[in-house]
């Protein structure tokens, strides 16, 4: 398990989610940068780029468990992800499917 903070997990999940449709729009990148409070964005972006889908999901699940996320905190995180998807006015089927998948995996 990484020694992620809750903020690191949030950043990683937003980066992961922004890539649901295989392209990060400028709106999505700006949305993420507006939502974060620390400077680990580039580090976590590099980590995401090196991970495959399975590794990403495993890291997310492990971090949620390790950080002791409550159901309410998970719901808040999922709401931010939904906001991210809608930030570029193009909430497409790939993003909807990823959201449903994340909801099942961590919800």
Digit-coded pLDDT (tens) for 83-104: 998 888 888 898 899 999 999 9
Q: Range of 56's domain?
A: 6-106
Q: Is residue 40 part of a domain?
A: yes
Q: Are 37 and 7 in contact (CB under 8 A)?
A: yes
pLDDT class of 54 with cuts at 50, 70, 90: very high
Whole-prediction pTM: 0.84
Q: Is residue 70 part of a domain?
A: yes
User: What's the structural domain count of the chain?
Assistant: 1
pLDDT at 46: 93
Q: Are 66 and 3 in contact (CB under 8 A)?
A: no
Q: Please, which residues have CB within 8 angstroms of residue 94's CB and are 6 or more apart in sequence?
A: 20, 21, 22
Average confidence score pLDDT of the chain:
88
Q: Is residue 1 part of a domain?
A: no
Q: Is residue 65 part of a domain?
A: yes
Q: Please, which residues have CB within 8 angstroms of residue 53's CB and are 6 or more apart in sequence?
A: none
């Amino acid at each position: 398990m990484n020694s992620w903070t809750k903020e690191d997990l949030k950043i990683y999940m937003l980066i992961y989610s922004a890539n649901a449709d295989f392209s990060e729009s400028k709106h999505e990148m700006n949305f993420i940068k507006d939502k974060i409070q620390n400077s680990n964005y580039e580090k976590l972006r590099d980590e995401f780029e090196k991970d495959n889908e399975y590794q990403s999901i495993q890291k997310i699940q492990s971090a949620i468990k390790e950080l002791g996320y409550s159901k309410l905190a998970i719901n808040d995180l999922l709401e931010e992800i939904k906001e991210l998807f809608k930030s570029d006015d193009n909430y497409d089927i790939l993003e909807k499917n990823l959201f449903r998948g994340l909801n099942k995996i961590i919800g």
